[in-house]
Amino acid sequence: MSVKAFLYLFSSIIVIWSIDSVNISYIFKKNKMAQAKIFYFLLAISMIQLLTMFLYDLFEATKFV
């Protein structure tokens, strides 16, 4: 398994675990659960990408990779 694939897996676990602890349901309107789920999905994908790129660049800069 490549380093980047491992980082994506690690980031996915951390991001989903952390997003699960946040309760922002009061921000969304009533009967708009589809939009709320899409928002959570896009937020998770964005955070996974940002965390993975950060960790990969950090490891690359410090020559751990």
50 three-state secondary structure:
helix
Amino acid at 27: I
Full domain range(s) for residue 15? 3-61
Instruction: State whether residue 60 is helix, strand or coil.
Output: helix
| Start-end of H helices in 1-65 | 3-20, 33-61
* Alpha-carbon span 30 to 64, nearest angstrom: 48
Residues 17, 30: Cα–Cα separation, whole Å: 25
Count of the separate structural domains present in the chain: 1
Say what the pTM is.
Answer: 0.81
Per-residue pLDDT of the chain (65 residues; tens, 9 = 90+): 688 899 999 999 999 999 888 877 778 888 888 888 898 899 999 999 999 999 999 988 987 65
What CA–CA distance (Å, rounded) separates 41 from 36? Answer: 9
